[in-house]
Chain A
Amino acid sequence: MTAVETAVAPTGLGRSRIGAVVRMHLSTPFMALGLPMLITLAVLTLNYLIWQLILLANPTLPQADPDAFIYNGGAVWIAFYLLSIAIQTMNATFRYALGMSVTRRDYLLGTGAFMLILSVVFVALYAVLGVIERATDGWGVNGWMISGFGMMDLPLWKVLLIWMGAMLIGMGLGVFYGAVFVQWRTTGVLITSILIAGAILAGVWVLTETQGWADLIELVVTATAWETAIAIVAATGLAFGVTYLLMRRAPVRE
């Protein structure tokens, strides 16, 4: 019989409840970090193979259409991954963590910190890939994944900031949906989705009615990096704030 590694129960700052929640999420690091990194590399490899396949079938494509491979959504998957992992994580760990005498507030803060760690690690991976992508002029085939969507002319740090924002928003939305699922299960998720879709439609309606689209696009285009970053952090913070309001009255369902 194998006994667990002997360790003394941590005390003081080393025994922070929020830290314990982060550790809980990172208990299976391959699932949390390793697997998505491997998937990112696999997506890049598959994209590269597809580009080569297209070039094999049509060798004159680079001359006919030099921009053929500059639009690629391969890097977006990580934002959707964080969204789904946030929902899944909340469902899998909320009851467990509260069973370990954690408050809802500490659970949410620890989960947010864990998500932030994931975002930082994935952005670091994107930074490495982005540097290589630029050094090789798009992997030698003018194919762009990290700086896709025509972002190869933007400074890399701006591209990374955009990805960080996408990840944070994906995570914020995922945590919010996770809380809705924990509290009201599938019915809650469906009703919330309908309400959100209704709110988006209402926004589109108002913008169209007031001819405000041009102003909105102008606002987005002219926003500085810091303004964008602040907006992203504010949106993520809002998602977490609303999530806490939902979760502070969430019972632990069997």
Chain B
Amino acid sequence: MKHIITTEALTKRFGSEEAVSSVSLALEPGRVYGLLGRNGAGKSTLMRLLTGQEFATSGAIRVFGESPVENAGVLDRICFIKETQSYPDAFKARHVLANAPHFFRNWDQVYADRLVDLFEVPMHRHMKKLSRGQRSAVGAIVGLASRAELTLFDEPYAGLDAVARRAFYDALLADIAEHPRTVLFSTHLIDEAADLLEHVVAISHGRIVLDADADELRGAAATVAGPAAAVEEFVSRRESTGVRRLGGLATATVTSLDDSGKAAARAAGLDLTEVSLQDLVIARLGADLERADKKEVAA
């Protein structure tokens, strides 16, 4: 199987609003994908479509080569953890973790026990009485210990504090090294998770605006800084995310710059600095927003 997930012109409308707009994706097995985007960009809807929790308006979805909708054979190999996961009122954390082995075929109880200790989850407290962070930790434990072939995290760690988030990233990194699987997770905290991501998909207004290998992205992009005229001249022949001026100086992020390009920048007296994944994504999303605004004004 070449791709674990494929979508073709996938669209989801809620009334007149298009939450996911003609999305075509192909995700390879055994990689960690970051689904990035602003609030309301369509990340959660896309994930719900991929897991059969939501129904597409049009387009096609294939997960493990089949439609995920009402497909036990496909869903059996998926674990989808989201921050908004609801739990029965009477459930304590121990009920969630006692039920999970019956839902996930690769469940590792010993590992789950270790994670419970790591995240210090109060097992005998009702889920609705847990803090947001503790609820997130329960979700993270289920997501990690399920060892599903395809694991989707929809910001399940949003409530975790910085120490717990770091523990989550480290646990995920260590576990997928030992038990390779495909992970797709959405996050706002791009820099924090940057080391984890092998591939980045950015979504804005329901459309994919970036779908690229993380290393290639990082290696190819650079910020050029120097006299405004030189920067403008340099970026005029290249794809960039706009020029930011400060007096007579300016900076711009060039999204694709090979060795000869870098040499040309230096020759033009410009300084080159690396671009973080977060800056790059923000720049892409910003450019998309600008385009959307212009389109709206024109309309």
Please give the residue numbers on chain A whose beta carbons come within 8 Å of chain B beta carbons, in ascending order. 1-11, 15, 17, 19-20, 23-24, 27-28, 31, 92-93, 95-96, 98-106, 248-249, 251-252, 254
In the assembled complex, how far is the CB of residue A153 from the closest CB belonging to chain B, in whole angstroms? 41
Are the C-beta atoms of A15 and B105 separated by less than 8 Å?
Answer: yes
Interchain CB contact (< 8 A) of B117 among A3, A5, A9, A102: A3
Query: How distant is the Cα of A15 from the Cα of B86 in the complex, in angstroms?
Result: 23
Contact A92 B55 (CB under 8 A): no
Nearest residue (CB) in B for A254 is B84
What are the residues of chain A within 8 A of B108 when measuring CB–CB? 9
Give the complex CA separation of A98 and B85 in angstroms: 10
Count chain B CB atoms within 10 A of each CB in A9, A24, A28 and give the residue with the most: A9
Asked if B80 is at the interface of the complex by the 8 Å CB criterion, the answer is: yes
> How many residues from B make CB contacts under 8 Å with A?
49
Identify which of B76, B86, B95 contacts A101 (C-beta below 8 A): B76
On chain B, the residues within 8 Å of A7 by CB distance are 98, 101, 109
Provided the pairs A4-B116, A92-B88, A248-B70 are in contact, do residues A9 and B98 lie with their beta carbons within 8 angstroms? no
| B70: contacting residue among A3, A93, A103, CB under 8 A | A103
Complex Cα gap A15–B87 (Å):
21
Nearest B residue (CB) for A251: B54
B277 at the interface (CB under 8 A from A): no
Give the shortest distance, in Å, between B1 (CB) and chain A (any CB). Answer: 19
Chain A residue at smallest Cβ distance from B107: A9
A20 touches B105 (CB 8 A): no
Choice from A23, A24, A102, A249 contacting B55 with Cβ under 8 Å: A249
Whole-angstrom CA separation of A33 from B80 in the bound complex: 31
Instruction: Tell me the nearest residue of chain A to B51, going by C-beta.
Output: A101
Q: Which of A27, A28, A92, A96 is within 8 Å of B85, CB to CB?
A: A96
The complex places the Cα of A68 from the Cα of B186 at a distance, in Å, of 68
A27→B89 CA distance, assembly (Å):
12
Which of B75, B86, B87, B97 has the largest count of A CB atoms less than 10 A from its CB? B86
Chain A, residue nearest B81 (CB): A99
The 10 A-B residue pairs with the shortest CB-CB distance in the complex, in nearest-first order: A9-B107, A20-B102, A3-B113, A252-B53, A100-B103, A101-B75, A28-B90, A9-B101, A92-B88, A95-B86
